[in-house]
Amino acid sequence: MSELFGLFAAALGLAAALAAVSIWAPRVLWLKVGALTITALFVPAVYVAMVELLSRPKPVALERIDAALAEATVLGADLREEEAIFVWLRLPGVEEPRAYVLPWDQGLAEQLHGAQREARERGTEVHARNLFRTGEGRERPMFYAQPQPASPPKQPSPRGGPLVFDSGAPRSTAQGSGSAAR
């Protein structure tokens, strides 16, 4: 969202520069008025277009700023057969999630669906790899379920050593051995 204001300010600055050139150009008055009118209509049109584009998913092929990212977390997906694959991603280092659209690919759609099912069973997240890498020699995009985290290490015994169970010792002498007397 913060990029919107910078882009709009740049478009406004360019429009103001064009308006200034049209005012000071040695032309007839009706051409100057026409140029100013077009500039006045251009500014709100650019703003409306930018705001409208905020709600649309961006094609992954057009991603330039975050194109170097190798991996992202998939927050949601919509598979539209023979049309497109829509994904909502959390990118590392970016505060808000982003919406993207990939061209339809049956194999990729099946992989995403399987990764969603596997992640639901494991209780983990779905990750995407190589979505933004375009061009020849690039790796194929990939969706996968995040592996389950490793179990925490076992805590050592409060006594410091291993517990020894001596089944042959009488109960009164099995102190500290971890026997059934406890």
- The pLDDT value recorded for residue 86 is 94
Per the structure block, which two tokens stand in for 73?
């977390």
pLDDT tens string, the chain, 182 residues long: the values are: 567 677 788 888 888 888 888 778 888 888 888 888 888 888 888 888 777 777 788 888 777 777 777 788 999 999 999 999 999 999 888 888 989 999 999 999 999 999 999 999 988 999 998 887 766 666 788 898 888 777 777 776 666 666 667 777 666 544 554 544 44
Burial track 120-129 (b if 16+ CB lie within 10 A, e otherwise): eeeeeebbbe
pTM score, whole prediction = 0.62
- The pLDDT value recorded for residue 77 is 93
Angle subtended by helix axes 29-54 and 2-24, to nearest 10: 170
- The pLDDT value recorded for residue 162 is 65
Kindly tell me the sign of the dihedral angle through the C-alpha atoms of 41, 46, 51, 55. Answer: positive
Per the structure block, which two tokens stand in for 84?
């497109």
- The pLDDT value recorded for residue 58 is 84
